[in-house]
């Protein structure tokens, strides 16, 4: 009787299981560094790509077809949920996202609706359903994703990207009751949205807390952690692994890890050995190569890859990734060489 196929090593590592080689995928692995993506973007806006399931699926598959990656991540963006919440969104060239109706008053917050994610973002779910058959034939699992409550609230109040999100933090500190109401609404929507992605076929979920590092530890504990805990408790019911990715949270990494995700995605602030020693080696982690290292000559890039792999000490529960998204000037050949080297070096070490 034939044996059942081995689970993908990415999902094994998410569960802290031993793998035959370190799994690797890269944030923004489908993006502007790829000529085929730039060609598509010359004909479609970002929001058009996201809103068209066929195009979103096409972009998701681009890096999987080109590199030996251990996971695909759905092509989308953090911010479409703000459209569903009635705030509007556009992407301005050379500026980034702009929220058309930002939340600037308590009344604005109280008028935010609580829609159904399945009804308001059906295109994303259609793209997931479209992708699974193709990815299944390749043995590559699909990661769905969304923004963490703080990151979405920060964009919603600030009106776009910001260095310190001062406007959002000021409202948080001066109107804590209104902040609580907003975070409850966003948490409920994101739980609904990410659960719907898992039901549509996503085999893992990543929650991006991209800007939470602007907060201190006490602010995080009071204004953010309760809602992250609610979100991860809800997502636990999906049965798929949940990754919590944060940046600039080295000062309170243990608080972030305690919020309830299955594994933690970390930036390049700390050596991976330090992260794993602080969190305990039973907590799976993802990371943490500096993405600019891919712009360096191979001997320097190889050295940085080795630092991450050596720091993990061959222990299970590690997924190799960059500590933030790939930059547009990344050479695709460097990506290919990185992916192959991570697999080959890990295989040799065993």
Annotated catalytic residue, options 9, 37, 70, 155: 155
Neighbours of 210 (CB within 10 A): 21
Instruction: Indicate if 155 belongs to the active site.
Output: yes
Which structure tokens are listed for 130?
């479209």
Q: How far apart are CA 192 and CA 117, in angstroms?
A: 6
Annotated catalytic residue, options 28, 223, 227, 267: 28
Neighbours of 250 (CB within 10 A): 16
The SS3 call for residue 169 is: helix
Instruction: Indicate if 28 belongs to the active site.
Output: yes
The Cβ-side half-sphere exposure at 293, using a 13 Å CA radius, reads: 22
C-beta separation of 133 from 127 below 8 A: no
Instruction: Indicate if 41 belongs to the active site.
Output: yes
The SS3 call for residue 123 is: helix
Annotated catalytic residue, options 9, 37, 77, 259: 77
Which structure tokens are listed for 198?
């898992």
How wide is the angle at C-alpha 153 spanned by C-alphas 201 and 199, nearest 5°? 10
Q: How far apart are CA 348 and CA 350, in angstroms?
A: 5
Which structure tokens are listed for 294?
């891919």
Instruction: Indicate if 248 belongs to the active site.
Output: no
C-beta separation of 144 from 198 below 8 A: yes
Which structure tokens are listed for 134?
């193709």
Which structure tokens are listed for 302?
């190889």
Annotated catalytic residue, options 32, 66, 104, 222: 32
Residue linked to tokens 């979103």: 56
* Catalytic site positions: 28, 32, 41, 77, 155
């Amino acid at each position: 009787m034939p044996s059942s196929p081995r689970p993908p090593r990415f999902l094994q590592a998410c569960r802290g299981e031993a793998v035959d080689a370190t799994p690797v995928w890269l944030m923004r692995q489908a993006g502007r560094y790829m000529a085929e993506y730039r060609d598509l973007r010359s004909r479609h806006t970002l929001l058009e790509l996201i809103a068209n399931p066929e195009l979103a699926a096409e972009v998701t598959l681009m890096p999987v077809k080109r590199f030996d990656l251990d996971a695909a991540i759905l092509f989308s963006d953090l911010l479409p949920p703000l459209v569903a919440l009635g705030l509007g969104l556009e992407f301005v060239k050379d500026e980034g996202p702009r929220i058309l109706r930002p939340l600037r008053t308590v009344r604005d917050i109280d008028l935010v609706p609580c829609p159904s994610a399945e009804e308001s973002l059906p295109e994303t779910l259609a793209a997931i359903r479209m992708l699974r058959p193709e990815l299944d034939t390749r043995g590559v699992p699909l990661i769905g994703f969304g923004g963490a409550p703080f990151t979405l609230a920060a964009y919603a109040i600030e009106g776009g990207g910001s260095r310190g999100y001062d406007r959002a933090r000021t409202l948080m500190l001066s109107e804590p009751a209104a902040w609580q109401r907003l975070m409850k609404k966003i948490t409920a929507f994101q739980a609904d949205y990410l659960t719907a992605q898992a039901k549509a076929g996503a085999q893992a979920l990543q929650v991006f807390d991209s800007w939470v590092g602007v907060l201190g530890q006490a602010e995080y504990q009071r204004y953010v952690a309760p809602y992250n805990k609610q979100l991860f408790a809800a997502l636990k019911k999906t049965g798929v692994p949940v990754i919590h990715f944060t940046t600039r949270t080295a000062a309170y990494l243990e608080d972030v890890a305690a919020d309830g995700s299955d594994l933690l995605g970390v930036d390049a602030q700390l050596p991976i050995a330090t992260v794993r020693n602080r969190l305990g080696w039973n907590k799976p982690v993802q990371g943490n190569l500096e993405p600019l290292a891919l712009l360096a000559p191979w001997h320097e890039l190889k050295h940085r890859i080795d630092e991450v792999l050596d720091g993990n000490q061959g222990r299970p529960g590690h997924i190799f990734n960059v500590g933030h998204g790939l930059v547009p000037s990344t050479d695709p050949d460097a990506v290919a060489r990185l992916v192959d080297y991570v697999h080959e070096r890990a295989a040799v070490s065993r």
